[in-house]
């Protein structure tokens, strides 16, 4: 008899797909940052290097969308709650950090905590959701 270890095989496959694309996006992002900073500062190729990560981000977002569309309904509910939490935190933190930066607080673009906090809240939401429905 076949059994699902945790998530359904379809969810596992779709999750693997968007995780790989996210990893690829991170690699391309780092490579682009390096190229723009050290190799291509004055070349017109830097525009291509700057746009390349977005292409992978679009692929990753599409893969995540596909995962959500086809996900087991409890997995989807957990994901959506985690996303809602992340968006809510972003909605609070982004304007606050922008205003704090304008007021002279030492928050630069690279140090903006919004994205990190959103990712942390999303991760917390997923872990809490899985634990709540265990």
CB 28 within 8 A of CB 34: no
> Closest approach of Cβ 72 to other proteins, in Å?
5
- 127 belongs to the binding site for other proteins (CB under 8 A): no
- 7 belongs to the binding site for other proteins (CB under 8 A): yes
> Closest approach of Cβ 2 to other proteins, in Å?
6
Residue 73 structure tokens: 């309904």
Restricted to residues 73-92, the positions that interact with other proteins (CB under 8 A) are: 73-75, 77
- 131 belongs to the binding site for other proteins (CB under 8 A): no
Within 10 angstroms of residue 14's Cβ, the number of other Cβ atoms is 21
Choose between 75 and 118: whose C-beta lies nearer to other proteins: 75
d(CA 73, CA 85): 18
d(CA 43, CA 32): 13
- DSSP states of 52-70: HHHHHHHHHHHHHHHHHHH
> Closest approach of Cβ 45 to other proteins, in Å?
46
- 68 belongs to the binding site for other proteins (CB under 8 A): no
What DSSP character marks residue 110? Answer: T
Interaction site with other proteins (CB under 8 A): 1-4, 6-8, 11, 72-75, 77, 130, 132-134
């Amino acid at each position: 008899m076949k059994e699902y270890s945790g998530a359904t095989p379809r969810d596992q496959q779709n999750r693997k797909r968007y995780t790989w694309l996210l990893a690829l996006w991170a690699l391309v992002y780092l490579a682009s940052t390096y190229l723009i900073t050290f190799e291509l500062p004055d070349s017109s190729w830097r525009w291509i290097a700057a746009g390349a990560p977005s292409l992978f981000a679009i692929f990753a977002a599409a893969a995540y969308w596909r995962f959500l569309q086809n996900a087991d309904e409890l997995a989807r509910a957990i994901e959506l709650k985690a996303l809602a939490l992340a968006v809510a935190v972003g909605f609070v933190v982004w304007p606050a950090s922008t205003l704090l930066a304008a007021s002279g607080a030492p928050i630069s673009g690279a140090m903006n905590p919004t994205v990190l906090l959103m990712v942390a809240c999303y991760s917390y939401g997923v872990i809490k959701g899985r634990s709540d429905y265990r």
